[in-house]
Structure 1
Amino acid sequence: LEDVSKPVVGAGSADSCRPKDDKDSENQTTGIKPSPLKTAASAPCREFNTNSNHTENTRDGTQIPTTPHLSSRMKHIKQEMAKNHLQFVRFEATDLHGVSRSKSIPAHFFQEKVIHGVCMPRGYLELIPNPKDDEVDHIRATCFNSDIVLMPELSTFRVLPWAERTARVICDTFTVTGEPLLTSPRYIAKRQLSQLQDAGFSLLSAFIYDFCIFAVPEIINSKTISFPASTLLNNHDQPFIQELVDGLYHTGANVESFSSSTRPGQMEICFLPEFGISAADNAFTLRTGVKEVARKYNYITSFFIETGFCNSGILSHSLWDVGGKKNMFCSNSGVEELTITGKKWLAGLLKHSAALSCLMAPAVSCRKRYSKESKDLKESVPTTWGYNDNSCAFNIKCHGEKGSRIENKL
């Protein structure tokens, strides 16, 4: 939190009821961390203490379940696998761009892989592809040629409605000696959430995503799809949207609303807010799920195109106390402005916006919007803030039943 002696001034430098109290306890997710090994030649293996009834917590916020907790999780997962006649389980991890990278295993090997993990070349997660040249940068770097291990977080196990007899589990990534992969976006997020918790706060957040659907112009002339939230356009392909929203719900990602957006073939999806890492997991699920559902309808979806269309991901968030009872951005006086805590948080976002932009837009093609020499002001991203002003990079909203929150549009 940035310390300010006066309110932040000037430019330049999603709505639903609050989740239930037990939501925070759900976010004490079950992850398995491989133990450091004496040799790097073999994959990590988790040694379980059969005499313990507790979970171990690491400094980075990863929970290591002991045998009773793990057995309970595995029993439930085995029931799900039998009920749905599952054949395959995907072990998924996010790369530097938030894109899913995975390995699928036959379902009967799942329990073994839960303990030992699944190996994957490190370069799959860290190398940056260049779609124009169909090449990968820095492919000769020695560290990129080594293996890393995908260790599943069992609380994220979900049957995928859009993939036949297949489930997925989101994984944390480790080196073969048991150290967390420091470049993992999920690890970075969990570490920051842990530090926030140490400071006495929790994060309630939700993503708002815009993406384009190609092949829709075959049904409706694309030139007519330019009126945001038009009811007729919202309903132009109900089977696709209904399957997507229903599928996301069954994977644990609750959609609060969806509508057509401002550009041809563009849709907007808003998620319900969640505490902790769940909001990021929901966004990760959408990015893969929407493409898989679209493929069934002979559509193609894209979160980035080079024609100037502005596909965005907006992070709506607020700080709460650790118990998730009180919004720290809201005062009880009914005044629609940020509290001192909220103003300090906003000041920190403004001060560190340049560094944050590197996390929001890591690739060269994404950096055009942040250039001072940008000729198109509509597509540029000035670091501004305001109350109920959707043109600002940091838009403060005090209305709605969730209370005060900040929308980060970097």
Structure 2
Amino acid sequence: MNAAPDTPALAELRQRIEASSLELIRFAWCDPHGVLRGKTLTRTAALKALRQGVGMVSTLMLKDTSDRTAFKVFEPGLAQTLPGFGYANNLVLRPIPESFRVLPWATATGWLQCQPEFADGSVVPFDTRSQLQGALARLAQRGLGMVCGLEIEFHIYRLRHAPHGAHLDPDQAAWPGLAPEVSLIHPGYNLLSESWFDMAEEPLRIVQHTAQALGMPLASLEIELGPSQVEAVFDATDALTAADNMVLFRSAVQQALRRAGYHATFMCRPPFEHIMSSGWHLHQSLVHLDSGRNAFMREAPAPFSSTREAGHTLSDVGCRYLAGLLHHAKGMTVMCTPTANGFGRFRPNALAPQS
């Protein structure tokens, strides 16, 4: 593995770790399904890995959602079909120094987000973060940047067998494993109910404190319509930060709540009869990089237009962006709904597209 340049950011992070009481550092990366994977290093090993990176088997990039490798990596010809992945070659995890956090729920543990790359330093095409960076770079060539705001719906349940659930009985081990037995934190069907929020305050406080301790711009926590369904709303950030926050928030909330006897799930539709499917809203806008001004907003209303027309206040760039969303809606539905469970939201009276 080639060592990364000793940048000021890496040097500052090294000093911070050396001066801390941290014992373990998690080096994590986001797989193609949005799941955080990685290795946990001791402090001494982590300091070396800041420049050297961390090796990992490339088959982790080829897993399906059941954790099975989707390609036969030891068969002849795969190296030509998927260059860099033949015979389970190693990849390198490169830490992103600006991503460093101290995990609020784990003792003396730091966390670093990483990006995988091939041994020669080239980009791994299945790395979704690199794909986003490439798209944003092409957008920047037009003088534009993307801003996103997250509204994340999910479910929180109370574990009946806290803190880990009865599914850790070795006699019941399976692939995939059994789902935990749970109960509700609020009965639902009373949107934004203050009483339901009070009932669910304990786990929601854990969500609040976890997100804020990780430096995320959490704005509100809300009771959604479905039983045990809640929503977290974040202030808008640049697109890459929003994507990083989404990945870390989901994993962090699940871990912190599990330790307290709760189970958080971000699956669209939990397997209960009287439940509401979750979705999440991704607010999108473009800004001019030179001024920071909203590129979707006209400086003045369009001449001879009415307030009922999109073009009255929406700029030409905004109109074209909206037209593109509508034109590609069918194809994007597949990309935005990567699991069979996700299509549980596509039903009548569910505030989701039907055609």
**Match in the other structure for 2:315:** 339
Paired residues of 1:207 and 1:314 also in contact (CA < 8 A): yes
- What amino acid is the match of 1:45? A
User: What CA deviation, in whole Å up to 9, does each residue of 1:55-83 have, x standing for no partner?
Assistant: xxxxxxxxxxxx4xx2x323432454355
Q: 1:45 offset after TM fit, Å?
A: 2.7
| Structure 2 residue 60 is the aligned partner of structure 1 residue 93 | no
Q: Is the 8 A contact 1:216 1:265 kept in 2?
A: no
Query: Deviation at 1:338?
Result: 1.8
Q: 1:110-129 alignment to 2 at 5 Å?
A: 110-129=46-65
Q: Secondary structure at the match of 1:215?
A: strand
How many Å separate the matches in 1 of 2:12 and 2:199?
39
Match of 2:283 in 1: 316
From 181, 188, 198, the counterpart of 1:225: 188
**Counterparts of 2:71 and 2:351, CA distance in 1:** 32
- The one-letter amino acid of 1:314's match is H
Aligned pairs (5 A) from 1:365-376? 365-367=341-343, 376=347
Q: 1:267 to 1:368 in 2, by over 3 A?
A: closer
TM-score normalised to the size of structure 1? 0.69
The letter for the 1-side match of 2:112 is V
**Contact 2:187/2:228, CA 8 A, preserved across alignment:** no
Q: Are the structure 2 counterparts of residues 272 and 358 from structure 1 closer, same or farther at C-alpha, using a change threshold of 3 Å?
A: same
Aligned residues: 311
Asked if the contact 1:101–1:125 (Cα under 8 Å) also holds between the matched residues in 2, the reply is no
CA drift of 1:265 comes to 0.5
- 1:127-176 Cα distance to aligned partner (Å, 9 max, x none): 1133xxxx625252443733221101111111111121111111111122
The answer to whether 1:136 aligns with 2:68 is yes
Q: TM-score, normalised by structure 2?
A: 0.79
Amino acid at match of 1:293: A
Give the AA of the match of 2:218: V
Q: Please say if 1:270 is aligned against 2:225.
A: no
> How large is the RMSD of aligned CA atoms in angstroms?
2.7
Structure 1 stretches of 5 or more lacking a match? Answer: 1-42, 49-66, 371-375, 385-410
Which amino acid counterpart does residue 316 of structure 1 have in structure 2? H
With CA pairs under 8 Å and 6+ residues apart, which has the higher RCO, 1 or 2?
1
Q: Which residue of 2 aligns with 1:330?
A: 297
Whichever residue aligns with residue 74 of structure 1, its letter is: L
- Say whether the 8 Å CA contact 1:153–1:171 is kept in structure 2: yes
**Structure 2 residue aligned with 1:177:** 120
| Alignment deviations for residues 373-405 of structure 1 (CA, whole Å, 9 cap, x no partner) | xxx323584289xxxxxxxxxxxxxxxxxxxxx
SS in 1 for 2:349: helix
Identity %: 21
Gaps of 5+ in 2: 75-84, 161-180, 302-306
**Residue deviations 1:109-143, cap 9 Å, x none?**
2232121211112222331133xxxx625252443
Q: Is the 8 A contact 2:157 2:184 kept in 1?
A: no
Q: Which amino acid aligns with 1:260?
A: I
